[in-house]
Structure 1
Amino acid sequence: MPDKRSQARNRGKAWERLVAKLLGGIRRGPDFRGPDGGKDDVIHPHFSIECKNMAQLNYRAILAACYQSELNCPDTKEPIAIVKPPGTKWQDAMVCQRLEEWRKWRIGDPDETIQKGE
């Protein structure tokens, strides 16, 4: 019988495969590094995608997934995290992005419209 760690790993891989299929991407293998240097979970032409299927899905875990997608993201792609707890339907998963990144991609440079610290 597989231990909990391998079950979680297998659950994460299955989630990555499903997200790739839903968004028209390709699941990146564990030892593959793309030409842009990124190690996002799903290879997609427009997004750097971090997938999380975690039992302890709280604000810190979601924020960490967002930061991880940004870290793995080239300048030409938009970083997103797609998260859900185990047992949740894929339709109820959340596409997450930090507000600063969302503003950068939707509005432009955040510093142009709001001064830092406000």
Structure 2
Amino acid sequence: MTARIARLLAPETALFACASMAHAGLLPFGEPHSRAATAEAIIAVILALGLATSLVRPPLARFAALAAQGLALLGTLVGAVTIAIGIGPQTVGDKIFHIVLVAVLVFGLWRAAGIRQR
């Protein structure tokens, strides 16, 4: 079970870390946006903590995955709303990336919810 949880949380953590670095101007793509970079870094940390918890405390793996991904989805939806109302980054890439992030997190929540502890 822990390995399946890790396979969900590790790529999600990497996605948010890359998004944060792109908005911080550390990667050659993406538009700098400090608030988005901060929010994405916080979400990456939340997902990393969920991953670490699942590895260190296997009995809590499913709960950690659901909690971390739920918080990440909430934060991502807040970001999507800021884009929709014109506060957040307005590039086509940001809009597409948020759609992808929401889809990945919903899929991860669905998969984690289906994992039964042995």
Identify whether the pair has TM-score above 0.5, normalized to the shorter chain.
Answer: no
TM-score scaled to structure 2, two decimals?
0.29
Larger radius of gyration: 1
Greater share of residues in strand: 1
Q: Which structure has more RCO (C-alpha within 8 Å, separation ≥ 6)?
A: 2
